[in-house]
Amino acid sequence: MSLTINMPVGVTDMSHHVHQLHMIIFWICVAIGIIVFGLMFYAIIFHRKAAGHQAAKFHEHTQVEILWTIIPFLILVAMAIPATMTLFKMDDVSDSYMTIKITGYMWRWHYEYVGTNVAYMSELATPYEQTINRAPKDEYYLREVDKPLVLPVGKKIRLLMTGNDVIHSWWVSDLAVKKDAIPGFINETWTLINQPGIYRGQCAELCGARHGFMPIVVHAVSEEEFKTWLKAQELANKRS
């Protein structure tokens, strides 16, 4: 099994932007760390009493102190610019192709395709025997649901979030979407998936005893496939 040590690049433009921001700030921190810790270890190695170093007497230096206040400030300003631009894009929910209403329940998700009669619960499908170690665990242990959320690729999907009982949080890291589902309030966000595939996540806000057991599976398919699927669902619901 390969070990993942970094944030996934993901499959949306936003997840790419976020990953980029993450890497920029990470490398800035690494660079600062190398300089600061480097200086400290230089002092530790050369300014030891055991190496015969005599203590100097200085204990302030106004110019240097002003400099190391201003330089970090400028670095932060440089960092804030791309972060702000990404934020504006993330918060722009206009021009969406369709809207899905996601409701968090203790402890399952409810998906409603707004404007259609398609709505269903989506809950953990991992057999309990696997949890209590009486059966071998599947590859997607605890990340398998009975009915995934099906979304078309290449279309901007508006997601409305709310909670039925306590606060939940809908998180799929490949989409770089995490939004709280708060009872009594509706949050909105959006996603535009570029690649068909199966993307997995789970509830991120502590919501009670089975908080760890309410996974999210997003099935991203082509637009035609999606339309066919939605039609079939609508028909089936009409009949029943």
Partner 1 sequence: MNEAVAHAEHAEHAAHYPQGIKRWIFSTNHKDIGTMYLWLSFTMFFIGGTSAMLIRAELFKPGANLVSPELFNQLTTMHGLIMIFGAVMPAFVGFANWMIPLMIGAPDMAMPRLNNLSFWILPFAFSILISTFFMQGGAPNFGWTFYAPLSTTYGPNSTDFFIFSVHLMGISSILGAINIIATILNLRAPGMGMMQMPMFCWTWLVTAFLLLAVMPVLAGAVTMVLADRHLGTSFFNASGGGDPVLFQHVFWFFGHPEVYVIILPAFGIISEIIPTFSRKKLFGYVSMVYAVSAIAILSFVVWAHHMFTTGMPTAGEIFFMYVTMLIAVPTGVKVFNWISTMFKGAMTFETPMLYAIAFIILFTIGGFTGLMLAIAPADFQYHDSYFVVAHFHYVMVAGSLMAIFGGVYYWIPKWTGHMYNETLGKFHFWLTMISFNVTFFPMHFVGLAGMPRRIPDYALQFTEFNQIASIGAFTFGLSQIFFLYIVIRTIRGGEPASAQVWEGAHGLTWTVPSPPPYHTFTTPPVIQDAHG
Residues 43-102 that bind partner 1 (CB under 8 A): 43-44, 47-50, 53-61, 64-65, 68-69, 72-73, 76, 79-80, 83-84, 86-88, 90-91
> In the block, which residue shows the tokens 């005599």?
54
Q: Which residues pair with 203 in a beta bridge?
A: 170
**Cα(159)–Cα(114) distance, rounded to whole angstroms?**
10
Beta carbon nearer to partner 1, 32 or 232: 32
Question: How many residues contact partner 1, by CB under 8 A?
Answer: 94
Beta carbon nearer to partner 1, 134 or 238: 134
Residue from 142, 219, 225, 233 touching partner 1 (CB under 8 A): that is 142
**Cα(176)–Cα(7) distance, rounded to whole angstroms?**
10
**Cα(100)–Cα(190) distance, rounded to whole angstroms?**
9
**Cα(222)–Cα(224) distance, rounded to whole angstroms?**
6
Alpha carbon distance, N-terminus to C-terminus of the chain? 44
Assign residue 154 a region: left if phi > 0, alpha if psi is -120 to 50, beta otherwise? left
Beta carbon nearer to partner 1, 72 or 154: 72
Beta carbon nearer to partner 1, 105 or 229: 105
| Cβ at position 232, least distance to partner 1 in Å | 30
Cβ atoms of 204 and 171 within 8 Å: the answer is yes
Stretch 179-208: interaction string toward partner 1, x if CB under 8 A: xx-xxxx-xx-----------xxxxxxxxx
Span of 4-12, 113-121, 218-226, 231-239 interacting with partner 1 by CB under 8 A: 4-12
Q: Show contacts with partner 1 in window 17-36 (CB under 8 A).
A: 17-18, 21-22, 25-26, 29, 32-33, 36
Our finding on whether 108 is near partner 1 (CB under 8 A) is no
Beta carbon nearer to partner 1, 73 or 227: 73
Q: Considering just the CA atoms, what is the radius of gyration of the chain in Å? A: 25
Beta carbon nearer to partner 1, 90 or 230: 90
* Angle in degrees, CA 226, 232, 236, rounded to 5: 145
Our finding on whether 137 is near partner 1 (CB under 8 A) is yes
